[in-house]
């Protein structure tokens, strides 16, 4: 997308009359007030004007476009939540950032500390980032690591923070821990990289031997810390995970299936282990949860719902080094 005048932006919006359709338009930048008499943005005091350099897609973005997302969305809203760019202008009272800083927005615009009781997810119930320029309050963005390209940093707001939140449970992740990861999607692969960097052993499942071989390649020098299970050829993958960890069970499960796999995940977990419920990619049927309460009690498992994460968690992720 080519650059617009200083008071306007190029932006994609969902078309409410045409499913699976986006419309490219030029429109005034939000929050600038009357721009008819000036070409210089007049930003709110704590606002940042960002020129975006990279935008990444998530599974959620496809769900929203298809109308299968379970949460409310703006009918003609701007899609996408994950982006990285540069601050090109600041409001008069901004203190956290300066022009030229490389930044990314937080996905949940209400979640700064993680204790907030409301949500505002970019690209869903509020406008997203599929645009040349966006305006955010300085409290709703974070600096991005200098060693990452814009494209690399653009995957962090949703997939990156979700992976970190699912893995770094109260600082318990570290060398010697065993992490079971379901699947090879974006969150799963980021968990893989983070877990290996922390010195964890990893067991990862997939229905594809080719994908599992790719996982070993991604692990690189850490490949000896990775075990793989094809759940098509090993339907009782939870038993295999326990066997691979000396019949003890794993410390943390990254659970992506939902009702179809949750009981198996608990069975794969060691006593006092943690199941981080990240997704619901499998067929959802509450009948699959028969015995859930007794399984939780028997294993003394902590079952945690993962709702991406807060700005503070994003900042903690950025401190680990990539």
Question: In sequence order, what are the beta bridge partners of 219?
Answer: none
Residue 201: what pLDDT? 96
Going by C-alpha positions, the residue among 157, 121, 159, 144 that lies closest to residue 256 is 159
The domains located in the chain, with CATH, are: 8-155 (3.90.180.10), 162-305 (3.40.50.720)
Residue (of 233, 231, 240, 294) closest to 261 by Cα position: 231
Enter the tokens of residue 122.
Answer: 């970019």
Other CB atoms within 10 A of residue 150 CB: 17
DSSP SS3 for 210? helix
- Of 293, 297, 302, 259, the closest CA to residue 279 belongs to 259
Low-confidence ranges of the chain (pLDDT < 70): 1-5, 33-41, 170-172, 321-322
pLDDT tens by residue, 127-162: 999 999 999 999 999 999 999 999 999 999 999 999
pTM of the model: 0.89
How many angstroms separate the CA atoms of 313 and 295, rounded? 30
Q: How far apart are CA 72 and CA 25, in angstroms?
A: 23
Q: What is the DSSP string of 52-119?
A: EEEEE--HHHHHHHHT--SS---TTPPP--EEEEEEEEE-TT--S--TT-EEEE-SBTT-SSS--S--
Per-residue model confidence (pLDDT) at position 322: 65
Query: So what's the pLDDT on residue 39?
Result: 52
Give a three-class secondary structure readout of 176-208.
CCEEEEECCCHHHHHHHHHHHHCCCEEEEEECC
């Amino acid at each position: 997308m080519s650059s617009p005048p200083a008071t306007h932006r190029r932006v994609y919006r969902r078309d409410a009359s045409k499913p699976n359709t986006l419309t490219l338009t030029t429109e005034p930048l939000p929050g600038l007030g009357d721009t008819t008499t000036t070409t210089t943005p007049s930003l709110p005091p704590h606002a940042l004007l960002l020129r975006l350099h990279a935008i990444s897609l998530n599974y959620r973005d496809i769900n929203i476009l298809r109308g299968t997302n379970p949460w409310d969305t703006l009918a003609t809203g701007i899609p996408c939540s994950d982006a990285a760019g540069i601050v090109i202008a600041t409001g008069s009272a901004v203190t956290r950032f300066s022009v030229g800083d490389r930044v990314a927005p937080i996905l949940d615009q209400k979640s700064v500390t993680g204790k907030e009781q409301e949500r505002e997810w970019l690209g869903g119930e509020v406008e997203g980032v599929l645009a040349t320029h966006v305006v955010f309050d300085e409290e709703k963005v974070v600096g991005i690591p200098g060693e990452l390209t814009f494209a690399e940093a653009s995957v962090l707001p949703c997939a990156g923070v979700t992976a970190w939140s699912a893995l770094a449970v109260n600082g318990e992740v570290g060398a010697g821990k065993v992490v079971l990861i379901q699947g090879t999607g974006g969150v799963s692969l980021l968990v893989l990289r983070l877990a290996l960097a922390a010195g964890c052993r990893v067991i990862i499942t997939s229905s594809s031997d080719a994908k599992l071989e790719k996982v070993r390649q991604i692990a690189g020098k850490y490949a000896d810390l990775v075990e793989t299970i094809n759940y098509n050829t090993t339907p009782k993958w939870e038993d295999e995970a326990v066997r691979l960890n000396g019949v003890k069970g794993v410390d943390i499960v990254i659970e992506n299936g939902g009702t179809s796999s949750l009981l198996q995940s608990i069975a794969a977990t060691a006593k006092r282990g943690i199941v981080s419920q990240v997704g619901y990619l499998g067929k959802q049927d509450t009948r699959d949860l028969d015995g859930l309460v007794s399984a939780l009690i028997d294993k003394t498992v902590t079952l945690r719902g993962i709702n991406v994460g807060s700005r503070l968690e994003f900042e903690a992720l950025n401190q680990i080094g990539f």
